[in-house]
């Protein structure tokens, strides 16, 4: 009988688990799911169907009232400060590109809007406000691509004193120096 290694045994176990797993359920329409949830609640709770129906009506009315009252308003100036400050702190050395601001603006909108639809281009407006108000362009483009807006390098206007103003130059490697030997 051949000896099977631990690695091969783990791989065979993973293949067997994948092949014997039941198939995933297909997506169902929301109306069908709601009907199933309602029937399940009636069967499992032991409460009369009219009580479940009245609870559903109360919850639907409360949800409609919350949606009507909770219109999310995005303050672009406040979002720009938040986005610029977060990106400045999270990126090492306080240097970042426009894409970092854009990703953080989208995170900010997801948090503020909580799943509601947002106006098209709102994230770009926040980034534009952050760049124009709170960011300083520190790029030194050496190519045509470096002149494009997406490749500009920024930092915040409120630079901290302990951060170096620029990246320290990297010394050229000495061609006569050999790398250290690895000890075993």
Q: What is the pLDDT of residues 70-112, one digit of tens each?
A: 566 788 999 999 999 999 888 877 889 999 999 999 999 988 8
pLDDT value for 59 = 82
Residue 125 has pLDDT above 90, yes or no: yes
Residue 25 pLDDT grade (very low, low, confident, very high; cuts 50, 70, 90): confident
Percent of the chain with pLDDT over 90: 29
The answer to whether 102 and 125 are in contact (CB under 8 A) is: no
Stretch 4-19: mean pLDDT: 92
Residue 124 has pLDDT above 90, yes or no: yes
The Cα angle at residue 121 between residues 134 and 113, in degrees rounded to 5: 85
Residues 6+ apart with CB under 8 A from 74: 109, 112, 113, 118, 122, 126
């Amino acid at each position: 009988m051949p000896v099977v290694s631990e690695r091969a045994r783990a791989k065979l176990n993973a293949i067997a688990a994948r092949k014997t797993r039941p198939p995933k359920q297909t997506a169902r329409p929301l109306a069908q799911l709601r009907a199933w949830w309602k029937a399940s609640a009636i069967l499992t709770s032991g409460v009369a169907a009219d009580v479940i129906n009245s609870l559903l009506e109360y919850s639907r009315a409360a949800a409609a009232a919350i949606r009507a009252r909770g219109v999310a308003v995005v303050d672009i100036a406040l979002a720009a400060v938040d986005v610029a400050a977060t990106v400045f702190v999270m990126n090492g050395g306080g240097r970042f590109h426009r894409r970092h601001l854009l990703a953080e603006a989208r995170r900010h909108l997801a948090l503020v809007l909580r799943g509601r639809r947002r106006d098209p281009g709102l994230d770009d407006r926040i980034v534009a406000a952050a760049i124009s108000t709170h960011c300083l362009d520190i790029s030194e483009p050496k190519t045509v691509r470096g002149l494009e807006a997406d490749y500009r390098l920024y930092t915040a206007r409120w630079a901290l004193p302990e951060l170096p103003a620029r990246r320290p130059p990297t010394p050229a490697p000495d061609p006569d120096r050999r790398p250290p030997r690895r000890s075993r």
